[in-house]
Structure 1
């Protein structure tokens, strides 16, 4: 069901948006997990990196794909409700776990269950909105996520170290509250019937056939690969950057306020991005996004003062906003209606894959070669990602030109291409 007025988003979207906001208002755990493990539980930085990267990130990889595929087969609503409940339970278990195995298993559970929500929520947004509404809808979703994290970062920074477990309980409670909104107000949105789209093949393909078709979609997979590259740099903000802050003698609250600044910049500017990006070549915008991300972290190679961290956040937040506004519209344009969940699930793997590699990889570079080398590596990855978007841009435009105009989204295709 979609709204006729392109300026007015449907009520189903707003209920989902409210649930996302509430969930993120309690999103304490992943922000402070590495600090919690090293300070409260006494584990090494290396172990904390493995938990955040391998366990939580690995769980996210499993959750995104299975969640997206399940949403196509069994419906969005059932999967959303199950994921909210599983996330809440896993979060509480992670807060009370003490041994390394129990912590690792619980972190895997949190990563898997919480990351189910991302592709399914994205599929719901595509289900209930028109192509013209989607850039604004995804921008609003990203806005809600960051507003919630801004508040969560401030609250989490103010909780004394001895009360760290309280953050896990509050996180679980917020997740349950979001799930109740889904239960009460969001009905099933999965399309009842699918018409074949030009250039995308026939109707629904079940099971392995659908997966094979996604894996054969090279245009889409290159987009995912470049998103992984972007994520490798971006994920340093919640793994090696807080460690760097502590190593430079800055108080732990500094990290919380930097994350709050990042979210405040997004809250203040994210809704302007779709308008600014309209009719501009997405390849150029994505190249700017990835280069800004790498360049922002490269600032930390020059200075480790507070003002350097502030400047770094300002620069890479620009890249984050551009990336978040453009990528979901591209995925929506490239995915067939009967495989929206699966396409969103495969795409959503980009950040869990980055979360799997970035903490351990970034920590290894920092331990063996120093923080400055790590930040220069971020710049190199940013340059490589920007070049990749510029190279594949023409092929992606040709793919989008095969679709009907109604299948495209505002800002995805540059004017005149």
Structure 2
């Protein structure tokens, strides 16, 4: 990594951590703020959360092409400013229209920043250090979210709307800090997009068709959907409902479980990185599926095993901790693989497509898992044990489509040869 690349990477990681710190201030309290503090009701709060997710689904399909045409930097800055406006608006919103509009701005802004930041990390890294760069990003995001949530919890007071206005103000300030930091980044690589508009015009704008014709990327997107559906899509919906209804977990214990999840990620990330960065990515992801299957079985014991309340609580917290262990294995594996699969001129579109898959899973996950976790306890556990085992099967199948270097990047360090995997011709998928 050159000095310019190293300086750019440090600024990107610092800005990313600060924005995560700002998000941590408000994300856990958004529902309570709209429903109780502003007294707009549970229905409006649910609508605000839904709009927040839907805004991301609307903008992400267009984000990748903008990144590839204009570069990731203006997208990060624009997204951060948009999210800051949404945060300020949410902090003073006292009506349903104002809350919904603020949620649109906040959801759209945070959504477009994800693939743009991932593309900046790709541009400022090399295959030999990309795995560690994405692991560092994930570590700093979770550290920022955890610290932000912890401090925010000490500030919030349901009886004082001004305390929430302060939280949203801090969040907006952190987004503006990200915009300012990103604006100072000198990206070392800009030639990849120089000829893209002409090439895109020549192909008739077939970027998405090329992506859909890339079978390895399509398989990775399917795998990604199952990953996010079986884990992140259940944290604050199905698994929380199951814990309180089936296992009798006190609602306050949910905060402890989430803290355990974050703590495992923060403590284990770089230890795990040393263990996985020289192993085949497909097998690492397959191992995550087995770990998560065990986590769901332990959750089943907590709610269905007739254990004492203390044992049930310990088992439930252990479930979240095991999820964190799996997450720490995924962070240096999946995101770098998206980058390695992407042609240079389509890195933004590949990152945006994967972000869209994640957002879809986060939208579908609560809708499916919430009702099941609350009422169908046994089927809920069995369903997600099977989904976790499905992760292992899909990962091993994906491994057969990857080149040896894509599956195990450390092979390139000794051979000094990096294989580039281009998408199959679009006609290959028919």
> Contact 2:249–2:313 at 8 Å: present in 1 too?
no
Over alpha carbons, which structure has the higher Rg? 2
Task: Provide the C-alpha distance between the structure 2 equivalents of 1:98 and 1:362, rounded to a whole number of angstroms.
Answer: 31
What is residue 125 of structure 1 aligned with on the other side?
Answer: 121
Name structure 1 gaps, 5 residues minimum.
Answer: 197-202, 410-417
What is residue 219 of structure 1 aligned with on the other side?
Answer: 216
What is residue 239 of structure 1 aligned with on the other side?
Answer: 237
1:334 aligns with 2:341: yes
Shift of 1:24: 0.9
Task: Provide the C-alpha distance between the structure 2 equivalents of 1:396 and 1:63, rounded to a whole number of angstroms.
Answer: 30
Please show how residues 373-384 of structure 1 align to structure 2 within 5 Å: 373-384=379-390
What is residue 418 of structure 2 aligned with on the other side?
Answer: 406
What is residue 206 of structure 2 aligned with on the other side?
Answer: 209
> Contact 1:3–1:9 at 8 Å: present in 2 too?
yes
Name structure 2 gaps, 5 residues minimum.
Answer: 304-311, 422-430
Task: Provide the C-alpha distance between the structure 2 equivalents of 1:359 and 1:49, rounded to a whole number of angstroms.
Answer: 12
| TM-score of the aligned structures, taking structure 2 as reference length | 0.82
Task: Provide the C-alpha distance between the structure 1 equivalents of 2:291 and 2:391, rounded to a whole number of angstroms.
Answer: 11
1:178 aligns with 2:178: yes
> Contact 2:261–2:321 at 8 Å: present in 1 too?
yes
What is residue 415 of structure 1 aligned with on the other side?
Answer: none
Task: Provide the C-alpha distance between the structure 1 equivalents of 2:40 and 2:297, rounded to a whole number of angstroms.
Answer: 29
Task: Provide the C-alpha distance between the structure 2 equivalents of 1:257 and 1:10, rounded to a whole number of angstroms.
Answer: 36
Task: Provide the C-alpha distance between the structure 2 equivalents of 1:291 and 1:177, rounded to a whole number of angstroms.
Answer: 40
Task: Provide the C-alpha distance between the structure 1 equivalents of 2:298 and 2:29, rounded to a whole number of angstroms.
Answer: 23
Of residues 116-125 and 70-79 in structure 1, the stretch that sits farther from structure 2 once superposed is: 70-79
> Residues 321 and 87 (structure 1 numbering): CA distance in 2 closer, same or farther, change over 3 Å?
same
**Count of aligned positions:** 395
> Contact 1:22–1:178 at 8 Å: present in 2 too?
yes
| TM-score of the aligned structures, taking structure 1 as reference length | 0.84
1:390 to 391, 396, 408: 396
Of residues 66-75 and 225-234 in structure 1, the stretch that sits farther from structure 2 once superposed is: 66-75
Shift of 1:374: 2.8
Which SS does the other structure have where 1:395 is aligned?
A: coil
What is residue 306 of structure 2 aligned with on the other side?
Answer: none
What is residue 97 of structure 1 aligned with on the other side?
Answer: 93
Which SS does the other structure have where 1:303 is aligned?
A: helix
1:316 aligns with 2:316: no
> Contact 2:8–2:187 at 8 Å: present in 1 too?
no
Please show how residues 354-373 of structure 1 align to structure 2 within 5 Å: 354-367=361-374, 369-373=375-379
Shift of 1:321: 1.2
RMSD of the alignment, in Å? 3.1
